[in-house]
Amino acid sequence: MTKKEILELVGQEDVEFIRLQFTDMFGNLKNVAVTANQLSRVLENKYVFEGSALFDGFKSSEEDLYLYPDLDSFVVLPWRPQQGKVARLLCDIHCEDGTPCNLSPRVILKNVLDKAKEKGYEFYVDPECEFFLFHADEDAIPTTLTHEVAGYMSVGPLDLGENPRRDMVLTLEQMGFQVESSHHESAPGQQEIDFREAEALISADSVVTFRSAVRSIARRFGLHATFMPKPKKGVAGSGMHMNISVYKDGRNIFNSNNKDIRDEANWFMGGLMTHAKGMCAITNPLVNSYKRINTGFDAPKEISWTQKNENALLRLHTRLGEDTKVEIRFPDSAANPYLATAVCIAAGLDGIEKHISAGKTYRELKEEGTVISRLPETLREAINEIKKDTLMEETLGKEFLSVYTDAKKVEWKEYLEEVTDWEVRKYLNRV
């Protein structure tokens, strides 16, 4: 869209407020609202904000930063009032001198995609987004309670998420999203909504907007939507599987006309497996993330690949022909989609460039009795692994990685200092 088209649309649609949105370093959606009268100034990249917002309170900043709206991201928010409507613009973050801010997750992904494009590669991603719907109490405080007992692909009346999920899908489609499917997942209260394949940046943008829309629509039903990876013991956690296709000269380089696996697909998976441990602090960013990985329920923890419906880290979907893709199964629902996409692409490209073999399949390794390498078991381990992986520093930037890992160390320390309900139940009467 052009600036003129946006201004005309604001007038035609009776838009009163425009939300300028971005994510901080940790994937939290931030925004500032401006009135329609201020939009012309915003579209000239003149909106200034305090840089501390980028760090979510973890780090102060004396530097003012600028919001540069992505004009193609303009959309009216259907769940907001229809008189005096609200629209949004996703923004890149720039420094005072006009250069992109390399601490911005969206900028980091764009940098990775620009480097890949120079080499002739384009990336398409379709994410599978899982989340839970729980009841809120009388004070609108979220709980982990659900009255349903539905399971994988259940239907109503067992599936009590059917109506909220329907409204979510219709709202997203109204915003121009290409929703492929939606269904109830395996745990009570757990939902999944999947998107059609899109360019990598658009796909990441979609996930950011999707999370905001889901939370807002859930609230209408008196529910709380959470993307916490493992909110309850004894049930499946929530992932964000990423299906990636790689194109060069207009063709999917993973596609094979026979049952043989193309070298490029093999190498791409080899790169992902080589860097999986280093990526984990990004793809599985919370203390809670590792309770999803370590407790099973189809959450992969062994670094391997498969073509079957097996619990491996990666799955190669060759039956799709021209649409052959690699499914990356370990990222979870809390991952920042910009950063997760960036490190996955960087790792896969590294595999292609260095011809890193993916090796034997998950089934072959199991049949041989081979001990398979595992993902980190804690956030602390993941922090150590990302600092050892030079590709992660190259991809994210030295300054970003330093600030990010410092914040995660603080999160881990806070967790270690916490006395949990489990400890009280386990020891209070015994010791």
Predicted confidence (pLDDT) at residue 321 exceeds the cutoff of 80: no
How confident is the model over 354-401, as pLDDT tens digits?
999 999 999 999 999 999 999 999 999 999 999 999 999 999 999 999
Q: Could you tell me if 307 and 316 are in contact, meaning their C-beta atoms sit under 8 angstroms apart?
A: yes
Stretch among 56-60, 351-355, 417-421 having the lowest mean pLDDT: 56-60
Give residue 257's Cα distance to chain centre. Answer: 32
The answer on pLDDT for 420 being more than 80 is yes
For residue 84, the model assigns a pLDDT of 84
* 175-192: pLDDT as tens digits: 988 999 999 999 999 999
| Per-residue pLDDT tens over the stretch 111-125 | 999 999 999 999 999
Rounded mean pLDDT, 79-108: 91
The DSSP secondary structure of 205-258, one letter per residue, reads HHHHHHHHHHHHHHHHTTEEEE--S--STTS---BEEEEEEEEETTEETT--SS
Inter-residue contact 145 to 224 (CB < 8 Å) = no
Report in angstroms the alpha-carbon separations of 272 from 20, 21, 53, 338.
Answer: 34, 31, 32, 17
Residue 412 and residue 417: Cα distance in Å, rounded? 9
Q: What is the pLDDT of residue 366?
A: 92
Q: Domains, the chain, ranges and CATH?
A: 3-99 (3.10.20.70), 111-392 (3.30.590.10)
Q: How confident is the model at residue 258 (pLDDT cuts 50, 70, 90)?
A: low
Q: Which two tokens stand for residue 285?
A: 């960013």
Residue 201 clears pLDDT 70, i.e. is over it: yes
User: How far is residue 166 from each of residues 41, 230, 309, 418, measured CA to CA in Å?
Assistant: 38, 24, 28, 39
pLDDT of residue 249: 87
What is the distance between the alpha carbons of residues 324 and 341, in angstroms, rounded to a whole number?
Answer: 18
CA 46 to chain centre: 29
Is the predicted pLDDT of residue 62 greater than 80, yes or no? no
Instruction: Tokens for 341, please give them.
Output: 């996409």
Whether the predicted pLDDT of 259 surpasses 80: no
Share of the chain above pLDDT 70, in %: 99
State residue 262's pLDDT score: 85
pLDDT score recorded for residue 99: 95
pLDDT at 314: 97
Strand pairing report for 198-199 and 325-328? unpaired
Q: In the structure, what pLDDT confidence band is assigned to residue 83 with cuts at 50, 70 and 90?
A: confident
Among the listed ranges 76-80, 243-247, 425-429, which one has the minimum average pLDDT value? 76-80
Coil/strand/helix, residue 192: strand
Query: In whole angstroms, what separates CA 226 from the centre of its chain?
Result: 13
Q: With bands split at pLDDT 50, 70 and 90, how would you rate the model's confidence at 338?
A: very high
Mean pLDDT value of segment 228-237 = 95
**pLDDT at residue 344 greater than cutoff 80:** yes
pLDDT computed for residue 257 by the predictor: 64
How far apart CA 406 and CA 259 sit, in angstroms, is 46
Rounded Cα distance between 215 and 213, Å, is 6
Confidence band, pLDDT 50/70/90 cuts, at residue 60: confident
More confident residue, 145 or 160: 145
Chain centroid to CA 423: 32
